[in-house]
Amino acid sequence: MSQKAVVIGAGIAGLLAAAAMSRAVPEAEIVLLDRDVLPSGPANRRGVPQGQHAHLLMAGGSMAMESLFREDVRKRLFEAGAHEISLANGMLAYSPDAGWFRRYRRNGSRMITCTRGLLDWVVRETLLQQTTRLSIHQAVVEGLLGDAQRVRGVRISGADATLGSEVEADLVIDASGRGSRNIEWLTAIGVSAVQQRKIDSGLTNATRIYRTPPGAESFPLTMIQANPYSGRPGRSAMVLPIEGNRWMVSAGGTRGGEPPNDTQGFLDYIAGLPHPLVSQLISGAEPLTDVAVSRSTSNVRRYFEKSPVWPERFLVLGDALATFNPAYGQGMSVAALGAHDLFRELVRSDVSTPGLSRRVLLSAARHVDTAWSTAVAMDVLYPDVRGEKATIADRLAAGYARRLTRAATGSFNAATALWDVTSLKAPASRLLSPAALFATLNGPLLPRTNEPPLQPSERQILQRIMRGSEEPHGSR
């Protein structure tokens, strides 16, 4: 039977949903619709404004992504300049509450860092090579065709003449991101009362790109984390290696502690963080851009999987399903894992099998649960958080996370449990495994350290950067 899928949105969720479809049902026709004309190379675009900011692809997401392609998509990313970072030894992370995390020789989870533009472009190119049955069109989806029993396609505007104003399909996947109008679309076909939760810490991100100082190409990813336990707004910053020998430097502050968008204000903000390492690193780096600011960072969850009525042949994935405070770097991984759930269901059954959409939504909700609990347990603690108040369960989770984080600074067992869950390689229950529980209750095996765990060669690089910043050309 010929099958046709319409995917709304060519962001990472839409691309990976299309990859899942093409891998599981190679003969299916896939129509990918996006309001933007997609760039012909790695570039930012209007429809994905968050692409100007740091995007880490966690291990759980990168493994799910890998399974959707015949080609080695990660290898392609690395060939294009992306970096692979080991959480165990490729990262310097400081928690104001717990000190610096130790580094370990052993390997742990690995994440991928590059610009969002590069990631989307490489994934899109790999997808286009995987299938000749995919067509990409510029169009704005305005609504759904069908009724509460079954969705039969989409209504569109602004499309070329080949598409007209309606596109019929055997399966419709909404991957139109944080701004999706899916609740409105569903209400219009008779599916109402979808529950929603929103928790907004008011996080603002400010990002600037720098040229990596010569010789510092292998310097670890560096992050000063926010402190949710202080009763004051969270403030953080990160230096992230990206393609083209560049550093992406992102600062983030919750409501009342937002970073400014002017260059001097940005530098002052970073200099005022509880540890000077990020400020020291950028003091000797050449800025390549202005400061870009983004404020769409709330946690929003739509409980479609709990809706008493759900139309067959309609699915929601990625940010259209749930969004998370980006400080935890989980949104793209949740999107990839949801696409993998779709792949698995399509291999087992068929687009026309009753209940397929509901099953995929139920599986995807499990990944959302993990990311949601990580983000919300911390976010509810910040001052002036909007949306729901912290529940007793949230406070208990936050208390446990605090102890675990302290233990993780000096215990490999605690650290791997934390990384496995934040990388979405394991569900949140992994934090309660006997080894993690034991390590958490015992606390760190080593005392708190306020000195970054730099190797001698890295210390030399830092000194060279700081010496360079004292020379006239380095003052910026």
Ligand X SMILES: Cc1cc2nc3c(=O)[nH]c(=O)nc-3n(C[C@H](O)[C@H](O)[C@H](O)COP(=O)(O)OP(=O)(O)OC[C@H]3O[C@@H](n4cnc5c(N)ncnc54)[C@H](O)[C@@H]3O)c2cc1C
Binding positions for ligand X, rule: CB under 6 A? 8-14, 33-36, 47-48, 50, 53-56, 140-141, 175-179, 205, 294, 296-297, 318-320, 326, 329-333, 335
Min. distance of Cβ 15 from ligand X in angstroms? 7
Min. distance of Cβ 276 from ligand X in angstroms? 24
Q: Which residue, 267 or 327, is less far from ligand X as judged by CB?
A: 327
Min. distance of Cβ 329 from ligand X in angstroms? 4
Min. distance of Cβ 320 from ligand X in angstroms? 6
Tally Cβ neighbours within 10 Å of residue 407: 24
Min. distance of Cβ 124 from ligand X in angstroms? 11
Min. distance of Cβ 104 from ligand X in angstroms? 23
Q: Which residue, 174 or 312, is less far from ligand X as judged by CB?
A: 174
Min. distance of Cβ 434 from ligand X in angstroms? 30
| Residue 2 in tokens | 């010929």
Q: Which of 425, 410, 315 is nearest to 374 (CA)?
A: 425
Q: Which residue, 137 or 313, is less far from ligand X as judged by CB?
A: 137
Q: Which residue, 128 or 140, is less far from ligand X as judged by CB?
A: 140
Q: Which of 346, 337, 347, 400 is nearest to 370 (CA)?
A: 337
Q: Which residue, 194 or 320, is less far from ligand X as judged by CB?
A: 320
Min. distance of Cβ 30 from ligand X in angstroms? 15
Reduced 3-state DSSP string for the chain:
CCCEEEEECCCHHHHHHHHHHHHHCCCCEEEEEECCCCCCCCCCCCCCHHHHCCCEECHHHHHHHHCCCCCCHHHHHHHCCCEEEECCCCEEEEECCCEECCCCCCCCCEEEECCHHHHHHHHHHHHHHHCCCEEEEECEEEEEEECCCEEEEEEEECCCCCCCCEEECCEEEECCCCCCCHHHHHHHCCCCCCCEEEEECCCEEEEEEEECCCCCCCCCEEEECCCCCCCCCCEEEEEEEECCCEEEEEEEECCCCCCCCCHHHHHHHHHCCCCCHHHHHHHCCEECCCCEEECCCCEEEECHHHCCCCCECEEECHHHCEECCHHHCCHHHHHHHHHHHHHHHHHHCCCCCCCHHHHHHHHHHHHHHHHHHHHHHHHCCCCCCEECCCCHHHHHHHHHHHHHHHHHCCCHHHHHHHHHHHCCCCCHHHHHCHHHHHHHHHCCCCCCCCCCCCCHHHHHHHHHHHHHHHCHHHCC
**398 touches 412 (CB < 8 A):** no
Q: Which residue, 372 or 444, is less far from ligand X as judged by CB?
A: 372
Residue 197 forms beta bridges with which residues?
A: 301
Min. distance of Cβ 181 from ligand X in angstroms? 7
Cα–Cα distance measured from residue 15 to residue 56, given in angstroms and rounded to the nearest whole number:
17
Q: Which residue, 220 or 326, is less far from ligand X as judged by CB?
A: 326
Min. distance of Cβ 250 from ligand X in angstroms? 8
Q: Which residue, 52 or 469, is less far from ligand X as judged by CB?
A: 52
Residue that is written with structure tokens 């769409």 in the block: 296
Q: Which residue, 56 or 376, is less far from ligand X as judged by CB?
A: 56
Cα–Cα distance measured from residue 327 to residue 325, given in angstroms and rounded to the nearest whole number:
6
Q: Which residue, 177 or 410, is less far from ligand X as judged by CB?
A: 177
Min. distance of Cβ 400 from ligand X in angstroms? 24
Q: Which residue, 182 or 411, is less far from ligand X as judged by CB?
A: 182
